[in-house]
Amino acid sequence: MVSSKKELFTVEQQGAAELFKALAHPARIAILEYLATTRDCITGDISEILPLARTTVNQHLSALKSAGFIQGSISGAKTYYCIDPTKVEKLKSMTNNLLRELSDANPHCLCNDSSKPISHEDSDPLYGKQLP
């Protein structure tokens, strides 16, 4: 790998990928779910819930914060974290856009075209065969 190459795609594609990447670990899903169900959202609490060390949880929290999914507000020694509803809305609209794109155009694909019946595992004996 010489460079990252991600910047060669559209900003929409990059944005979508970043959003999904933030959710691409079960710990971060769990953190968001926990934050959604409690008022007492401090780091210590979360690391007691999750099967991970506190520093690891903190790392996941940072990732979620960088992606904009959560906000943190310091109150004394404690830091309160909570979900940013704006970002959740953005995830919703962005996912809906992508899903619409993917499902609308799909019937055009050869594999799902009923006028070309010999193309899937049901009918094609070579489906899924590895080239040796």
Residue 24 within binding range of DNA, rule CB under 7 A: yes
103 vs 125 by CB, closer to DNA: 125
**Shorter beta-carbon distance to DNA: residue 21 or 92:** 21
d(CA 49, CA 54): 10
Assess 49 for contact with DNA (CB under 7 A): no
- Gap between the Cα atoms of 43 and 55, Å rounded: 9
Q: Are 61 and 48 in contact (CB under 8 A)?
A: no
Taking residue 115's Cβ as centre, other Cβ atoms within 10 Å add up to 5
Applying CB under 7 A, what is the total number of residues that bind DNA? 33
CB-based contacts of 65, cutoff 8 Å, min separation 6: 71, 72, 81
Q: Which residues bind a second copy (CB under 8 A)?
A: 5-6, 8-10, 13-14, 16-17, 20-21, 23-30, 32-33, 35-41, 51-52, 71-75, 80-83, 85, 88-89, 91-92, 95, 98-99, 101-106, 108-113, 119-121, 124, 126-129, 131
